[in-house]
Structure 1
Amino acid sequence: MNFFSLPPSGNPIPISHIFRATSVFFRNTQGEDGFQKIIKTYLKVKHCLLVSSGTAALWLILKAAKKIEQKRNEVIIPAYTCPSVAAAVIRAGLKPILCDINMQDFGFELEALKKKINFKTLAIIIVHLFGFPSNIKKVKQISRSSNILLIEDAAQALGNSMINSPQEKLGSLGDIGFYSFGRGKPLTLNHGGLIVTNNSQLFEQIFQIYQTIERPSLTENFLLLAKLYFYVFFFHPSLYWIPQSIPFLKLGKTIFDLNFKIKKTSPIAVALANKSIGLIEENKKVRQKNTTFLLQRLNSFKKINLPAYPFPYLRFPLIVSSNTHRNRLLAHLRAQGLGATMFYPCPLNEQPGLKEYLHDTNIYPNAKKLSQTLITLPLHQGVSHKDLNTMVDIITHYL
């Protein structure tokens, strides 16, 4: 058994930051206003709100949107995305409508998107997969022409911007956006989600619903503290194999779950966010550097499709020619503990547990192709130069 195992995503949390968050929690000090002020300046938005997760954030947005547009009940989402997106739509009492993706930026296939729109369409959720910008400007034109709400899923994209336009932060460019602070995200807090918008009417509706939801209980706060200390200890290549091998933790599993918690954010996460917000740009530089290295080393290798830009991806995506070759290469990378994953295993209408809610037997060719040929590699601070070289050696040797 290989006792070396890189986490596939996320970032190490300094133990000093958790000590600080623990201290703030026991002193019962609230820091939401300070964090929100920093975020509003950083993202150039009027309104923001912290909740318990990115999924809860999306649910809250959709419930508010439904209150404003009561005759509309359909939400268009990518056929290849996290099942939690569909879970939030369904739990909000709305109907997910799947749309195929393109193979360039993994966003919507635009002609397919146009065909999905009708008088019942409430919202379009555009996803910046791996933190890379989808073609939001063209999607915004489509949504505006039909008076449809454009929601940005920037769960994987906090801190990233449009290419060559650093002032245009992903998540702040649609009508409303949301982020996640969960495990494996750009700002890793193991808890929390963030809503941002310049739409005051929508935010007012969101805030009304927000006031009705509870804060985490004392038990939940203590559990979060325990998870954070656990995370700090095991986010290391020599130890990560331990939680990875525990079945009930379900690390790396893609699960559809309607029973996600909808709560206000924990004061522990707020304190940790206040202490860690400066790491967003630092972590981004590391991912940019590691992406650039992999592109330089693999660019002349013609058996894989690589990203077109040296961008600070959350994970490095590469596409292999076939499912057989993907699975073989993935097995070799995993055998060396290099944190390689297949990401989401199938289009949403094939996802166990979700199929019966969608009743969608359509074929989404690009979503299917991506699910069968994609490999992601870690880019975070825990990845060493030696790890990157080993990735390159395995890719060029086994393909």
Structure 2
Amino acid sequence: MAFAIEVPPTAGLPARFGDFLPHSGFGKAKQHLTDRLAAQFGLPPLQLECSGTACLIIALKTLQAMPENAGRDEVVVPAYNCPLIVLAVAHCGLKLRLCDTMPGGFDFDQASLQNCVHAGTLAIMPTHLGGQTANSALVKPLARKNGAWIIEDAAQSLGAPQLPGSGDIIFFSLAVGKGLTLYEGGLLTAKTAKMRAALQATSRTLIPSRPFFELRRLGQFCLYACFYRPGLLPLVYGRPRRRALAKGRLEEAVGDVFSPDIPLHKVSNLRAGFGLAAALRLPDFLQATRAQARRRLPVLQKLAEKTGGKLQILGADKVDKAVWPFFMLLMPDKAGRDAALAKLWPSVDGVSRLFIHALGDYAYLQPFLGARQAAPNARNLAERMLTVSNSLWLANGRFEKLCHIIEHALLTGDKKDKDIYLPQ
């Protein structure tokens, strides 16, 4: 049976057979991998953990244990964010404070942030979404004034040139679909050697060895490496997504549903070794996706001009200051966004949504959120955004066709024609 060429929603670095061949670095692969990535991207010394979520838990637990943070129990996060952030904060027994985002962007709204930060704030978390960088410098004066720490969530932005920013701690994700993946993994570091030592000490105490769970991750990583191919992705990504969409399970379709039982375990040198060879290719891969973004952003900007400025492309003026797994497009309203998605989301062309809701609007997160907190800008962002893959597998002709569909939705907002778009 022949399958359509399926484009993933993000530009992930495909594995090669040679990545899995034995080499001399396997014995100390975790150290070699973190050293290599730190050198490639100008980062402080890194530690490898089992997920970005685990990195955040380690960071929060480290801050909780510091005597000077006694009585501080709130974490301030942007209200447009990954649901795993909510679960990680709850895992640590801390309170979450949702801060609204700026209009039409994912940075903190400064007026809202002023109202969220106080003497009981433990940490503020600027989030670098979709390879773009948040302005963490705007957070620093308020954090220092109130004695709070800054944890930069760079889960989606490994390799972005401006990172780390003004944070005390920063973490990255190596999960499925990221530029570099171990199927699941995370990188954690801090600005000062003292804090890095504290993070490592927390990890040694908190993170157990679970050999059988790690064996499961090794198997998942190998299967991912096999199926992360445009001809096989329909089996593991495309068809399940289309079934979820057909049933109206949007959170499931985009991968927004997570268990509060967060796995914590040590990453093996074997799995790190599989990522070591891929890490050598990562800078060139990020350059290739940035070059493609440089070619395609003008097409999207012309589309915005052609439709009277109805379309906003986040980060379009910062092409060399970001990594580009996908493009984040803001439609003028929910109706126009949904009109475009009616055709493009079920297609094979890598169009999706980043998060289905603002954090306060996920029903399954309500037990972890406490008091309801208004975040109209974040909700508006969730209602208007769609994402377009920057995968190198998305051919120019298919990119142009999906741009025409977005243009039609911008000009008409027509939701009547819902035929699935499957280019030949």
TM-score calculated relative to the size of structure 2: 0.85
Asked whether the equivalents of residues 131 and 325 of structure 2 are also in contact (C-alpha less than 8 Å), the reply is: yes
Q: Using a 3 Å threshold, how does the CA distance of structure 1 residues 108 and 225 change in structure 2: closer, same or farther?
A: same
Alignment size in residue pairs? 389
Partner residue, 2:340: 329
Question: Following the alignment from structure 1 to structure 2, what is the Cα–Cα distance between the partners of residues 363 and 227?
Answer: 39
Alignment-derived partner of residue 368 in structure 1: 379
Does the alignment pair 1:231 with 2:219?
no
1:132 aligns with 2:139: no
Q: For residues 273 and 2 of structure 1, do their structure 2 counterparts lie closer, same or farther at Cα, with a shift above 3 Å needed?
A: closer
Matching residue of 1:207: 200
| Alignment counterpart, residue 288 of structure 2, candidates 286, 289, 292 | 286
Q: Given the alignment of the two structures, is residue 38 of structure 1 paired with residue 39 of structure 2, yes or no?
A: no
Deviation at 1:270, TM superposition (A): 1.4
Contact 2:43/2:164, CA 8 A, preserved across alignment: no
Any unmatched runs of 5+ in structure 1? 163-169
Rate the CA distance shift 1:301–1:231 in 2: closer, same or farther, 3 A. farther
Q: What residue number does 1:87 align with? A: 87
- Higher mean C-alpha displacement, 120-129 vs 256-265: 256-265
Q: Deviations over 1:122-162 (max 9, x none)?
A: 00011001111111111122212222110010111100123
Rounded Cα–Cα distance in structure 1 between residues aligned with 2:297 and 2:44: 37
Match of 1:167 in 2: none
Greater CA deviation, 92-101 or 234-243?
A: 234-243
Partners of 1:397 and 1:364 lie apart in 2 by 30
Identity of aligned residues (%): 24
2:14 matches 1:13: yes
Aligned partners of 1:24 and 1:268 also within 8 Å? no
8 Å CA contact 1:181–1:193 kept in 2: the answer is yes
C-alpha deviation, 1:181, in angstroms: 0.3
Q: CA deviation at 1:184?
A: 1.5
Per the alignment, in what secondary structure is the counterpart of residue 270 of structure 2? helix
Distance change in 2, residues 1:67/1:395 (3 Å): same
SS of structure 1 residue aligned to 2:352:
coil
Shift of 1:238: 2.9
2:277 paired residue among 266, 275, 278: 275
Task: Determine the structure 2 residue equivalent to 1:304.
Answer: 311
2:397 alignment partner AA: K
Counting only pairs closer than 5 Å after superposition, residues 1-399 of structure 1 correspond to structure 2 as 3-20=4-21, 23=22, 29-68=27-66, 69-162=69-162, 170-171=163-164, 173-214=166-207, 217-244=210-237, 245-246=239-240, 252-299=254-301, 300-302=305-307, 303-307=310-314, 308-309=316-317, 311=319, 312-399=323-410
**Greater shift in the superposed pair: 61-70 or 101-110:** 101-110
Alignment deviations for residues 210-253 of structure 1 (CA, whole Å, 9 cap, x no partner): 11245554433432333223223322333212112348995632
| Cα 1:226–1:372 shift into 2, 3 Å | same
Partner of 1:372: helix, strand, or coil?
Answer: helix
Deviation at 1:179, TM superposition (A): 0.5
- Per the TM alignment, residue 288 of structure 1 is displaced from its structure 2 partner at its CA by 1.8
Could you tell me how far apart the structure 2 residues matched to 1:269 and 1:236 are? 20
- The residue matched to 2:139 in structure 1 has which SS? helix
Structure 1 residue 254 displacement after superposition: 0.3
Shift of 1:315: 1.6
Q: Name the aligned partner's letter for residue 256 of structure 2.
A: T
SS class of match (1:195): strand
CA distance in 2 between counterparts of 1:102 and 1:2 reads 42
Distance in 2, Cα, partners of 1:40 & 1:176: 15
Distance (whole Å) between structure 1 residues aligned to residue 101 and residue 391 of structure 2: 26
- C-alpha deviation, 1:8, in angstroms: 0.4
Q: Equivalent residue of 1:361, what SS? A: coil
What is the rounded CA distance, in whole Å, between the counterparts of 2:406 and 2:39 in structure 1?
42
The alignment partner of 2:46 has SS state of strand
Provide the C-alpha distance between the structure 2 equivalents of 1:28 and 1:290, rounded to a whole number of angstroms: 34
Q: Unaligned regions of 5+ residues in structure 2, if any?
A: 245-251, 411-424
Say what the alpha-carbon RMSD is for the aligned residues: 2.5
Deviation of 1:185 (Å): 1.3
Q: Secondary structure at the match of 2:306?
A: coil
Report Cα offsets for 1:90-130 as digits up to 9, x if no partner: 10111110000114541111121111111100000110011
What is the Cα deviation at residue 202 of structure 1? 2.5
Where 2:254 maps in the other structure, the secondary structure is coil
Distance 1:11 1:343 in 2: 15
Secondary structure at the aligned position of 2:393 is classed as coil
Q: 1:76 to 1:61 in 2, by over 3 A?
A: same
Deviation, 1:276, is 1.6
Whether the 8 Å contact between 2:34 and 2:46 is mirrored in structure 1 is yes
Counterparts of 1:237 and 1:44 in 2: how far apart (Å)? 32
Q: 359-368 vs 285-294, which deviates more? A: 285-294
* Contact 1:12 1:232 (8 Å CA) reproduced: no
Does the CA contact (< 8 Å) of 2:337 and 2:409 recur in 1?
A: no
**Residues in 1 aligned to 2:349 and 2:293: alpha-carbon distance in whole angstroms:** 15
Distance 1:226 1:382 in 2: 25
Deviation at 1:310, TM superposition (A): 5.2
